[in-house]
């Protein structure tokens, strides 16, 4: 499976094309809409989210509620486009046109300056329109399709918030995925500990009041993984590596950890590795899951636990210094609207991005043209793994 997205933040629409989804997988737009709506929420989002109501149109690859095995294309319209029609239209402009307002002032922390230089865009709107995290709506669309496939195979994926601005929300490690998903879904900051959630919201409000922004840590938990997915034989087949790369590709993500992650550096081996047990009922399993479900680039069959670090939102009401590329004069970057914290939304994005990588690995490792055949192969393999 692979996918591409197209679309500018304030352009007409976002488009996603997904290739390699097996045929005969039941799929309806509402399953994707549920994910899109979840991505829009969370305390700390800016005014743009009040304008958009993300709903998908499936424009190919699905017929009568089932996938065809042909490319699936998804479209999400930008409701804000009606306010940007003149600025974002595709028709050539007259040299003296009113709307030829160019952006010559790069915002620190954004793609503006590097992207402008790279593509020769002296109007940096041509960069920011595509580098915007609006694109994550298109990626969540692809991940939502992956989640449908995984669910049919007994694999569930949940994303939630573990930390905002240094406030950590502890998670009871015995909670099942269903419990994690239900509790975080009910929280305005998508987390567990109500007390921590209250403090997180205060921190977000405070940052907003001060014209500042804050970041945090999202976690994704995957249950029902067959063991041995991924491979140790080549660097680019290690599934933890692939997941880490795709998490790092989310806008504003600056680090990834599996299980104990960086804490492993501070512990002895006996406090890091997960002892192997076997029972008739479970097959092989681990006493602990400190390595977050991976050994040798392959799944152990224990839940995957992966964290991603999101930096604070770069556009600030409090001005940051930058340089106008036309005059080379310094200026103080200021803005009209922005999110002050998007970690809750980003946890939903991360959930879908991890889901896509897992679905992709499964469709590479098992026959994947026809969904019932894929399911039979995965079920057989699970049986084999139990008694190996
Ligand atoms: C869900 C989500 C929402 C975001 N919202 C904003 C925003 O409102 N304002 C902003 O400046 N950056 C926002 N960002 C982050 C920027 O898109 C990102 O920092 C920028 O494109 C530069 O990329 P980099 O941080 O990965 O280097 C958001 C990111 C995500 C994942
Ligand atoms: C539109 C979304 O997020 C946007 C991501 C974003 C950025 O710079 O990344 C900037 C903001 O957009 P605008 O400049 O239009 O207010 C966010 O609202 C979205 O998540 O759907």
Query: Does the CB atom of residue 203 touch ligand 2 within 6 A?
Result: no
Q: Establish whether 286 is an annotated binding residue.
A: no
Q: Which residues approach ligand 1 with their CB closer than 6 A?
A: 46, 109-111, 131-133, 136, 250-252, 311, 313-315, 338-339, 342, 345-346, 349
Ligand 2 close to Cβ of residue 339 (< 6 A): yes
Q: Please report where in the chains the tokens 């393999």 appear, as a residue.
A: 381
With a 6 Å cutoff on the Cβ, whether 346 touches ligand 2 is no
- pLDDT for position 86: 86
Cα distances (Å, whole numbers) of residue 89 to 12, 100, 136, 186, 321: 8, 11, 22, 40, 31
Closest C-alpha residue for ligand 1 atom 13: 313
3.30.160.20, 3.40.50.620, 3.40.50.2300, 3.60.150.10: CATH of 2-387: 3.60.150.10
Pocket-testing residue among 252, 253, 318, 337, ligand 1, by greatest number of atoms within 8 A of Cβ: 252
Give the pLDDT score at 100: 64
Which of ligand 1's atoms lies nearest the C-alpha of 45?
8
The whole model's pTM is what? 0.97
User: Is the confidence metric ipTM above 0.90 for this complex?
Assistant: yes
Distance between CA atoms of 306 and 292, rounded to whole angstroms? 7
Q: What is the pLDDT of residue 53?
A: 95
Atom of ligand 1 nearest to the CA of 314: 11
User: How far does residue 143's CA lie from ligand 2's centre (Å)?
Assistant: 19
Whole-angstrom distance, CA of residue 83 vs CA of residue 12: 11
Task: Say whether 337 counts as a known binding-site residue.
Answer: yes
Residue 246, C-beta contacts closer than 8 angstroms, at least 6 positions apart: 353, 354, 356, 357
Query: Nearest C-alpha to atom 2 of ligand 2 is from which residue?
Result: 134
What are 108's two structure tokens? 């620190």
The ligand 1 atom at the shortest distance from the C-alpha of residue 253 is: 26
> Is the CB–ligand 2 distance for residue 184 below 6 Å?
no
The closest of 22, 3, 20, 32 to 375, measured between CA atoms, is 22
CA distance 328 to 101: 18
Q: Give the number of the ligand closest to the Cα of residue 314.
A: 1
Ligand 1 pocket test: which of 5, 249, 314, 334 has the largest number of ligand atoms within 8 Å of its C-beta?
314
User: 187-219: buried (b, 16+ CB within 10 Å) or exposed (e) per residue?
Assistant: bebbbbbeebbebbbebbeebbeeebbbbbbbb
- Please check if 300 is assigned to a binding site: no
Nearest atom in ligand 1 to the alpha carbon of residue 311 is: 25
Cα(332) to ligand 1 centroid in Å equals 19
- pLDDT 10s digit of each residue in the chain, 388 long? 999 999 999 999 999 999 999 999 999 999 999 999 999 999 999 899 999 999 999 999 999 999 999 999 999 999 999 998 888 988 887 777 766 678 999 999 999 999 999 999 999 999 999 999 999 999 999 999 999 999 999 999 999 999 999 999 998 888 999 999 999 999 999 999 999 999 999 999 999 999 999 999 999 999 999 999 999 999 999 999 999 999 999 999 999 999 999 999 999 999 999 999 999 999 999 999 999 999 999 999 999 999 999 999 999 888 899 999 999 999 987 677 889 999 999 999 999 999 999 999 999 999 999 999 999 999 999 999 999 9
Q: Which atom of ligand 2 is nearest to the CA of 314?
A: 8
Give me the residue label for tokens 């989310």: 250
């Amino acid at each position: 499976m692979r996918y591409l997205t197209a679309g500018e933040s304030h352009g007409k629409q976002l488009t996603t094309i997904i290739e390699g989804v097996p045929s005969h997988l039941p799929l309806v737009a509402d399953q994707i809409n549920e994910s899109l709506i979840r991505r829009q929420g969370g305390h700390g989002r800016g005014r743009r989210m009040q304008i958009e109501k993300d709903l998908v149109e499936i424009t190919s690859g699905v017929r009568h509620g089932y996938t065809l095995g042909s490319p699936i294309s998804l479209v999400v319209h930008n409701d804000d486009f009606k306010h940007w029609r003149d600025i974002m239209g595709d028709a050539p402009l007259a040299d003296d046109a009113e709307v030829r307002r160019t952006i010559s002032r790069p915002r620190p922390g954004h793609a503006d300056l590097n992207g402008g230089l790279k593509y020769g865009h002296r109007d940096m709107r041509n960069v920011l329109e595509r580098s915007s995290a609006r694109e994550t709506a298109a990626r969540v669309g692809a991940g939502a399709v992956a989640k449908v496939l995984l669910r049919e195979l007994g694999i569930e994926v949940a994303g939630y918030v573990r930390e905002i601005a240094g406030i950590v929300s502890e998670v009871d490690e015995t909670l099942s995925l269903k419990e994690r998903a239900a509790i975080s879904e009910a929280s305005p900051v998508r987390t567990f500990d109500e007390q921590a959630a209250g403090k997180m919201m205060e921190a977000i409000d405070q940052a907003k009041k001060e014209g500042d922004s804050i970041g945090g840590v999202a976690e994704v938990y995957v249950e029902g993984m067959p063991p041995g997915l991924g491979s140790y034989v080549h660097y680019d087949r290690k599934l933890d590596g692939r997941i880490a790369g795709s998490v790092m590709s989310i806008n504003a993500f600056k680090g990834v950890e599996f299980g104990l992650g960086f804490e492993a550096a501070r512990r002895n081996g006996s406090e890091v590795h997960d002892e192997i047990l076997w029972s008739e009922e479970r097959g092989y399993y681990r006493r602990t899951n400190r390595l977050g479900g991976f050994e040798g680039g392959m799944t152990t069959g224990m839940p995957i636990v992966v964290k991603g670090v999101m930096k604070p939102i770069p556009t600030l009401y409090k001005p940051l210094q930058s340089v106008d590329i036309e005059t080379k004069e310094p200026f103080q970057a200021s803005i009209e609207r922005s999110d002050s914290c998007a970690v809750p939304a980003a946890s939903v994005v991360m959930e879908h991005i991890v889901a896509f990588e897992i679905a992709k690995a499964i469709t590479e490792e098992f026959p994947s043209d026809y969904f019932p055949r894929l399911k039979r192969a995965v079920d057989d393999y699970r049986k084999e793994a139990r008694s190996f």
